[in-house]
Amino acid sequence: MRVRRALLSVSDKRGLVELARALRAHGVDLLSTGGTHAALVQAGLPVTQVSDFTGAPEILDGRVKTLHPRIHGGLLGRPVPAHEAQMAAHGIEPIDLVVVNLYPFEATVARDQVAFADAIEQIDIGGPAMLRSAAKNHERVAVVVDPDDYPAIIAELEAGGGALSAPRRLALARKVYAHTSAYDAAIAAYLSAVDDEAALAPAAAPARRPFPDTVAVQWRKRYDLRYGENPHQQAAFYADARAPLPGWPAGRPTIAGAEVLGGKQLSYNNILDLDAALGLALELPGCAAVVVKHNNPCGVARGDTPAAAYARARAADPVSAFGGIVAVTRPVDGALAALLAGTFLECVVAPDYSDEARATLAGKKNLRLVRAAGDWTPRAGDTVATVRSVAGGALVQTADTGLVDVRTARVATRRAPTAAELDDLAFAWAVAKHVKSNAIVFAKDGVTLAIGAGQMSRVDSVKICELKAGAALAGSAVASDAFFPFRDGVDVLAGAGATAVVQPGGSVRDEEVIAAADEHGLAMVMTGMRHFRH
């Protein structure tokens, strides 16, 4: 399909002039509106105002400018005799290419204090109408909604002598409907989140409910996976179509937005474990390393250097570290790379990698190097929604971004923790938040000694830790993700060698549990916040 006439109307002007020049080089007539027309004129390109083309002026503050039969007839007319005759009878000329992106509604409502009336004005009407008309008639019309597609369009026009192929037009049409559906979903979500009083005070910024009546999430496939959790399951990896994730703090690294620098493609289980490792690493101040196996940390440590932190984390449970996932909070340097090369690992995620590190690890063909660029600074209180599917539905909640400062939490026992114990309690508490319930974490001197995860009994979690570390638990601090329902949990961790414990509290038997801690000479701190992880 040769392009003879194109309509360009964009809010995002990236690459606009370059595309328009390429179109003109192939003799394409250009139509445009408003700011897009001004930008093209300023670039010295011949372009016709849509109002001159239709013979109808823009009215109602620009709300009506492309809603006209000469526009939509030119987009929807098929290359069949009946349509061509009707178009000729009404003076409608074909439009072969539409380049449109929409008013920035999502960016507008992302601002906390945007007035309701301002949000409403950013609901595009003419743009989606043109996109949908052109996409429906992709057998004759090409439609472009994403400026990132401009280079491919320019290249195909050049290769095809000003023509665009049918597969290209279909691919562009698919992208349009994905875009307009996400756009409409964002509008529906906003309107169902604002209070009804917004209609009575449109100049004000309305309050918004944290969980609107409508939740629409659109995911864009990044790539197919070799298989899912098991080889007989099929799987694919999708990222949020509107990166960064809605509500996700600017610059916060995610696995969905990370770059794989080397090694095989990530697997389904790799992605889950990388997400778990990154989530814990983002909560650890300073230089730290995390080793994750089957979605649970098996070794976590602080260190003066990345290599030192990783060496301590790996030594915490070297058996479980085999085939694990590693996250480090600092760029991987040559010293750390040499250590990583000495153990079979699936993946490493870090802010970056030095040239020396990449050269050292280049020979590890099965090791995936993942660079998650962004702000790795620990911070609490970010409002992020998480979605988890169940059969026939989904659970939506705010992410667990809370983390009580153990150093200021309530001391429940007669003995208060020492300064060293408080440091270890705070470290263990941060780790426990990322361990599957029932979670028990023993730590000392900034390294985990043993982690009990995913047990039906909290006592069993303690016993697993004792089995793993034995006498090494002497003088350690312990974190429990939820309260101890009976004193037996305290009895067994004291018997294992712990001297201090942090837990949320809140059991009907708290007094009994505290009394047990006093009997054993334990220092116990209660945070008032639990961290179940199912």
Residue 435 to residue 437: CA distance in whole angstroms: 6
Whether 407 and 422 have beta carbons less than 8 Å apart is answered as: yes
Q: In degrees to the nearest 10, what's the CA dihedral of 308, 314, 318, 321?
A: -150
Q: In degrees to the nearest 10, what's the CA dihedral of 440, 327, 329, 318?
A: 60
The beta-carbon contacts of 275-279 under 8 Å, at least 24 apart in sequence, are: 276/325, 276/434, 277/325, 277/326, 277/327, 277/349, 278/253, 278/254, 278/327, 278/349, 278/372, 279/434
- Which residue, among 341, 336, 338, has the nearest Cα to 352 in the 3D structure? 336
Full DSSP string of 292-351: EETTEEEEEEE-SSHHHHHHHHHHHSHHHHTTEEEEESS-B-HHHHHHHTTS-EEEEEES
Taking each continuous run of H as one helix and of E as one strand, the counts in the chain are 19, 21
- Which residue, among 464, 324, 275, has the nearest Cα to 478 in the 3D structure? 464
8-state DSSP, 92: -
- Radius of gyration over every alpha carbon of the chain, rounded to an integer in angstroms: 30
Q: What backbone phi and psi angles, to 5 degrees, belong to 231?
A: -60, -25
- Six-digit token pair at 234? 């099929």
8-state DSSP, 415: S
So which residues are the catalytic ones? 136, 294
- Six-digit token pair at 252? 């916060």
